[in-house]
């Protein structure tokens, strides 16, 4: 008897192909490290600005670095096309992030995760974000365990994943 191979389903493949070929707007998640050089933050801000100007919906989380730059660019282009999903409640966010986050129209808080460590809450938040997107763009370091796991989970769900490394 032959063993069944763990091959992707035809439907999954066709869905991925359709997403690649889609010329209309997409739901794009943009995630990344908090520790980002300022020049990279400007590039991420410009990328999110361009993605939203092209009528894509942008989904990110609320942290310094990559996510803050993504929020800044999307807010400049069209605040209505930005959704920010927080790993915990707004009150648990750093003071420097709160001012920016309070301007976001589509802000999703997760107060039920306030009792968790930030790393655990962030992992759950990232799962929620990838469940809502068609494509993930991620900026990480080779040792960014949570982000790399998020990329793997997105690939397992047949999402398009573009991973940029800072190192």
Count of CB atoms situated within 10 Å of the CB of 156: 10
Is 5 within the bounds of a domain?
A: no
Query: What is residue 38's three-state secondary structure?
Result: helix
Which pTM was predicted? 0.85
Is 109 within the bounds of a domain?
A: yes
What contacts 12, CB < 8 A, 6 or more positions away? 158
Is 154 within the bounds of a domain?
A: yes
What is the extent of the structural domain holding 101?
26-165
Is 118 within the bounds of a domain?
A: yes
pLDDT tens-digit profile, the chain (167 residues): 445 555 556 666 566 556 556 667 899 999 999 999 999 999 999 999 999 999 999 999 988 999 999 999 999 999 999 999 999 999 999 888 899 999 999 999 999 999 999 999 999 999 999 999 999 999 999 999 999 999 999 999 999 999 999 98
**Unique residue bearing structure tokens 């648990």:** 92
CATH at residue 151: 3.40.50.450
Exposure string of 55-88, with b = 16+ CB inside 10 Å and e = fewer, is ebbbbbbbbbbbbbbbbbbbbebeeebbbbbbbb
Paired tokens of 132: 């809502």
What is the number of domains present in the chain?
A: 1
Paired tokens of 5: 């191979």
Distance CA 60, CA 106 (A): 11
């Amino acid at each position: 008897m032959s063993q069944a191979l763990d091959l992707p389903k035809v439907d999954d493949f066709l869905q991925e192909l359709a997403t690649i070929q889609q010329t209309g707007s997409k739901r794009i998640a943009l995630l990344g490290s908090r520790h980002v050089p300022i020049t990279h933050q400007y590039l991420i801000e410009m990328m999110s600005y361009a993605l939203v100007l092209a009528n894509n919906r942008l989904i990110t989380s609320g942290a310094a670095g990559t996510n803050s730059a993504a929020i800044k660019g999307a807010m400049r282009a069209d605040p209505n096309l930005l959704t920010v999903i927080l790993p915990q409640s707004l009150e648990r966010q750093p003071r420097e992030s709160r001012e920016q986050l309070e301007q976001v129209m589509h802000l999703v808080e997760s107060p039920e995760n306030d009792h968790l460590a930030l790393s655990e809450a962030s992992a759950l938040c990232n799962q929620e974000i990838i469940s809502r997107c068609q494509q993930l763009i991620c900026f990480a370091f080779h040792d960014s365990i949570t982000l790399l796991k998020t990329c793997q989970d997105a690939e397992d769900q047949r999402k398009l994943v573009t991973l940029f490394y800072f190192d």
